[in-house]
Chain A
Amino acid sequence: MNQTAFLNLVLPFKDKLYRLAKRLLVSNEEAEDATQEILLKLWSNKTKIGSYKNVEAFAMTMTKNYCFDRLKSKQAQNLRIVHSNYKDESIELQKKIEHQDSLDWVGKLMQQLPSQQRMIMQLRDIEQYEFSDIAKVLEMKETAVRVNLSRARKTIREQLIKKHNYGIK
């Protein structure tokens, strides 16, 4: 397999790896490093790629494991990955800011979920994976995936309602 063939295989799901990594690691830079690392690992094992049934699912699992390793090592060092993705919001209208704020809020709510629920929500609600694929990626049972997803969605909904009704009720 040469480089272009590899890239053609890998690029369609590269951003999915990135988004999953970002969901877990929060920081843009960390997520980019993780993506790069995973793709390099795949590239160095390119002779085996043919034997994987589903390269995308395999890569997603690798990303998950890699991110957990990263988080573990950061915790061991008593460090927390600091999230500081600055944005220029100077020209935005008040309404747009409020809107954006509410959307960011959803992201923050997701961040508060346990990492497993967060990953399931990422894979299902954002990447729109089938339950069987999620089960494969996360090495879980399908029923467990559903239960966790339901819990995550309900938690988010309650938080959103709380936020929405703040000051009214």
Chain B
Amino acid sequence: MELNNIEKLIEKYLEAETSIEEEKELRSYFSSPNVAPHLKQYKYLFQYFTIAKNETSNKSVTLKTRKINFKWLTVAASFILAIGFYTFSEVKNNNQEKEALQAYFQTKEALQLLSSNFNTGTEKMLYLNKFDNTKNQIFKTNH
């Protein structure tokens, strides 16, 4: 590789006008052992680029996490739904019992009221009987 050519390429490189191919040329020149001493500082630069490109992430990709989450989510949802239905029906049953009991007490009260009124009616009827008796006596004596 001609030194002159490399120097020109470096000038172009600094102006960001080199193509990918030309940059590859520079890289290969600076990875060779005989680099001109006045260009030595570029050696580190281009070697760093080569090394940096080989760096890899050690962690492997995991994609399953979301799937499992989804599965468990359905299980949890159905569980909650089941509990919900159960408690809901419980509450409903309780309510029905309460309503029935209330209705029972109400009718009982109403019937009691009725019977007590009825009783006062019969008490008044006793006076009527007395009146009837006295009337009969009077009429008997007159005959």
Contacts and interface: CB of A to CB of B under 8 A. Distances in A.
Query: DSSP class of B's interface residues: helix, strand, loop or mixed?
Result: helix
A17 to B, nearest CB: 8
A153 interface: yes
Nearest to A122: B52
Nearest to B59: A32
A128 B20 contact: yes
Contact of B41 (A3, A6, A31, A164): A164
Interface residues of A, number: 41
Contacts of A153: 13-14, 16
A32 B60 CA distance: 9
Given A36-B59, A146-B17, 14 more contacts: A6-B63, A10-B61, A18-B55, A36-B62, A40-B65, A40-B66, A103-B51, A126-B53, A128-B23, A130-B20, A160-B41, A160-B42, A164-B40, A164-B41
B83 interface: no
Interface of A: 3, 6-7, 10-11, 14-15, 18-19, 22, 31-32, 35-36, 39-40, 43-44, 102-103, 105-107, 124-128, 130, 146-147, 149-150, 153-154, 156-157, 160-161, 163-164
A150 B47 contact: no
A125 B49 contact: yes
Nearest to A105: B44
A126 B52 contact: yes
Contact of B63 (A43, A103, A149, A154): A43
A3 B67 CA distance: 11
Interface string B53-93: 10111110111011000000000000000000000000000
Nearest to A127: B53
A9 B48 CA distance: 28
Most chain A CB neighbours (cut-off 10 Å) among B13, B14, B24, B41:
B41
Contacts of A32: 57-59
16 contacts: A7-B61, A15-B56, A18-B55, A39-B61, A39-B63, A40-B66, A102-B44, A103-B47, A105-B44, A106-B44, A124-B16, A127-B53, A146-B16, A146-B17, A154-B14, A156-B45
Contacts, number: 83
A125 B63 CA distance: 31
Contacts of A126: 49, 52-53
B70 to A, nearest CB: 11
Contacts of A43: 63, 66
B41 A107 contact: no
B15 A150 contact: yes
Given A10-B61, A125-B23, A153-B14, A15 B44 contact: no
